[in-house]
Structure 1
Amino acid sequence: MMQDTISLIKPLDTIAMDKCQIRLDNLTKPLNSLYSFEHLARQLSGITYNPRPRSLKKSIIIMAADHGVAAEEPCVFSKQEVILQKIHNISRGSAAVNIFADHVAADLVLVDMGIIANIPPLPLVRNEKIASGTKNITQGPAMTREEAIKAIEIGIRVASETIKKGSQVLGLGEVGVANAISSTAIIACYSQRPLTELVGKTADSSIDFLDKKISFIRRAITVNTPNIDDPIDVLSKLGGYETAGLVGIILGAASGGAAIVLDGLATSTAALLAVKLAPQVKDYLIGSHFPPEPAHKASLDLIGIPAYLHLNISSGEGVGAALGLSLLNASLHVLNDMKTFGEAEVSVAHDGPGALKQDKNVKDE
């Protein structure tokens, strides 16, 4: 399934992108002055094969799983209880991500890929549990290769079903205990930066715990010797079920022609692995915000995509992705609701860069 999915990923439509750029250049503003919004509008035109995409249906998919390495952390049982409460809160529509999803009119689903607790049937929650948490990566592989592939295939299936229901943009999120350790370990395999520059204070750790986190990550890499030329090997040895599921969501979304909006560290880690599996996925990825974890920026740098918001958000859950979706909404309003010089009957530039690209004849027929 995975290779078939990868084979369906098409390059972006450069003809649509060029037509989109002509309109952007002719909107009543200085050339390139809405820089990031113009970049996003152009990218969406290429993904949708439409020079003027308008209102795009959106969904946020949250992958949930716990990590065995959490046994090395203090207060692990209380953290697992908090995660369970968080899932119940999301199912009731009361969490931050629900509020932000409503704000951008995005559907929401949470997929249990491997939470330790047994979650009863709940609204918005889908049970795809592979196991009750991964194994402790400081002692051996997180999961088998077969489990990693199974989780990827679940993600592909979830993405495909979501797209068939009409979604054209998928925002990503995650919930689980100790995924920052796992994600940072994966990024450390590919980054040239020392661990001290990748590990930061997160929502589930204190400053005093940073040195221990570094030692856990170093031990996990030493014990497992992941093969960086084989992303599935890296994923199965150091990753989580939610990470693998997110890889599948990304591959499935790209193969279905949907844009993918990242959230925080776990989602950028999954995106990095997806790009290692299928480099053409990069064109479908959209960064949202910079959370406190330094490894997240390192991951985005490795992929080669920007993020846009500096809000110091560390909640996970897909909150950053929801905010990223709001940027896409704004970019499409720029593209469709601003008038061109010709439509507004405003003079075009007579000198400078604008004179070469602006034409009063660019307007709606």
Structure 2
Amino acid sequence: MSSSAWWTSATAPRFTQAQNDATERQNQLTKPPGALGELENVAIRFAGFQGKVKPELNHPQCVVFAGDHGVVAQGVSAFPQAVTVEMLKNFVAGGAAISVLSAFHGMGLSVVNCGTAIPCDTLAGVIQRPVMAGTQDFSQQAAMSHEQALSALRIGAEQIERLHADGCDLFVAGEMGIGNTSAATCMSALLLTQNAEGLTGPGTGVQGEALSHKQQVLAASVERARAFIKEPLDVLEQVGGLEIAAMAGAYLRAAQLGIPVLVDGFISSAAALLAVRLNAGAREWMLFGHSSAEPGHQALLTALDARPLVQLGMRLGEGSGAAVAVGLVKQALALHNGMATFAEAAVSSGQ
């Protein structure tokens, strides 16, 4: 392994004593043990993240990474690539779902151009880090070179380093890029050693014969790429996306710097699985926001041994499902920190 493989460095240790103490506190609160379900587990895990029996969430941050996909030329999306840049404008103007949810939660929102097909270097409010003008058509050739993959991974790491310096205590990654469900599907098929057909979903709304065509294109793309896969990074190079690479890099660097991440849906989970395959320690710093309606998401959640916080039939992307779950994290911590113990409330615990 070359010295440039920064992602292999150790992830931050968890605070096991604080987590144990938080578990003990949960058992003393005025409720039957386990009565708050997954909310209890969230609070306990945050104690382990922060090293405090009463953890707090003060500076959640979301970064939306954008990039385009050459495979769109094969007719796998219901929308043209021009929509990617149009949505970047919508993000910074406050009109997108993730913009509204971020404002609602008081969560910082940044937008990063990792490589759109249409130039947007003059678009105010967007962090410009383009690696290339969208990936190559991976049905015909590798999506990106090794060097381009490394550059895209590093974009995510750089954003986490910036947020860490500002005190970020929870990270949400969002994505924007027409064709990115196709990239996530092919990555999932290769990482999970499954057929692409069963993982392929509607994405932007592809249905009927168009969905069958998408399945055929992606299945052929996976078969083309399979011969070139020797390690996880090869999957990214062959069929990945620049924004997916940046998300994976962000998840990896967040784990190294001790920042918990709330993973969004299908595309984000494909990035999460890649991150875990590159460095298994990254999994310890992941929570999962929701269960997407995209058919491939359940396979990824199973592989990651993940228990999403909500299931609302969402499949928008942008980080929106994870942003909805931020409210549950806040409530979990409020309950954990604010509820009285049996002793404080002078209530019999029945023990």
TM-score of the aligned structures, taking structure 2 as reference length? 0.95
TM-score of the aligned structures, taking structure 1 as reference length? 0.91
Deviation at residue 5 of structure 1 after TM alignment: 4.7
Q: Are the counterparts in 2 of residues 262 and 321 from structure 1 also a CA contact under 8 Å? A: yes
Deviation at residue 190 of structure 1 after TM alignment: 2.9
Summarize the Cα distance change of 1:321–1:226 in structure 2 as closer, same or farther, 3 Å threshold.
farther
Q: Are the counterparts in 2 of residues 179 and 240 from structure 1 also a CA contact under 8 Å? A: yes
Bigger mean CA deviation after superposition, 313-322 or 189-198: 189-198
The alignment-based identity, stated in percent, is 28
Residue of structure 2 in register with 1:45 after alignment: 47
What whole-Å deviation, never above 9, does each CA across 1:164-223 have from its counterpart, x for those lacking one?
A: 111111011100011111111111113355434312222242233222122112211221
What whole-Å deviation, never above 9, does each CA across 1:228-283 have from its counterpart, x for those lacking one?
A: 55111111101000011111100111111101111121110010000001111111
Q: Are the counterparts in 2 of residues 145 and 236 from structure 1 also a CA contact under 8 Å? A: yes
Q: Are the counterparts in 2 of residues 58 and 107 from structure 1 also a CA contact under 8 Å? A: yes
Distance 1:234 1:75 in 2: 21
Residue of structure 1 in register with 2:98 after alignment: 97
Is 1:73 the equivalent of 2:67? no
Q: Partner letter of residue 244 of structure 2?
A: T
Describe the SS at the equivalent of 2:253. helix
Q: Where in structure 2 are the equivalents of 1:196-211 lying within 5 Å?
A: 196-211=197-212
Residue of structure 2 in register with 1:135 after alignment: 136
Distance 2:76 2:273 in 1: 29
Q: Could you tell me which of 62, 65, 79 is aligned with 1:63?
A: 65
Is 1:298 the equivalent of 2:299? yes
Q: Are the counterparts in 2 of residues 2 and 153 from structure 1 also a CA contact under 8 Å? A: no
Residue of structure 2 in register with 1:363 after alignment: none
Distance 1:160 1:120 in 2: 23
Q: Where in structure 2 are the equivalents of 1:1-365 lying within 5 Å?
A: 3-73=5-75, 79-191=80-192, 193-225=194-226, 229-350=230-351
Describe the SS at the equivalent of 1:79. coil
Deviation at residue 126 of structure 1 after TM alignment: 0.6
Give the root-mean-square deviation of aligned CA atoms: 1.7
Q: Are the counterparts in 2 of residues 201 and 207 from structure 1 also a CA contact under 8 Å? A: no
Deviation at residue 47 of structure 1 after TM alignment: 1.4
Deviation at residue 2 of structure 1 after TM alignment: 6.1
Distance 1:249 1:290 in 2: 21
Summarize the Cα distance change of 1:311–1:195 in structure 2 as closer, same or farther, 3 Å threshold.
same
Describe the SS at the equivalent of 1:132. coil
Q: Partner letter of residue 23 of structure 2?
A: Q
Q: Partner letter of residue 16 of structure 1?
A: A
Deviation at residue 75 of structure 1 after TM alignment: 7.1
Q: Are the counterparts in 1 of residues 29 and 341 from structure 2 also a CA contact under 8 Å? A: yes
Aligned residues: 349
Bigger mean CA deviation after superposition, 291-300 or 198-207: 198-207
Q: Are the counterparts in 2 of residues 202 and 293 from structure 1 also a CA contact under 8 Å? A: yes
Describe the SS at the equivalent of 1:110. strand
Q: Are the counterparts in 1 of residues 121 and 128 from structure 2 also a CA contact under 8 Å? A: no
Distance 1:161 1:75 in 2: 34
Give structure 1 stretches of 5+ with no counterpart: 351-365
Runs of at least 4 residues off by over 4 Å: 226-229
Q: Are the counterparts in 1 of residues 342 and 348 from structure 2 also a CA contact under 8 Å? A: yes
What whole-Å deviation, never above 9, does each CA across 1:54-113 have from its counterpart, x for those lacking one?
A: 23310001110010000011677x522222221111111121111111111100001100
Summarize the Cα distance change of 1:325–1:124 in structure 2 as closer, same or farther, 3 Å threshold.
farther
Q: Partner letter of residue 214 of structure 1?
A: Q
Describe the SS at the equivalent of 2:25. helix
Q: Partner letter of residue 116 of structure 1?
A: A
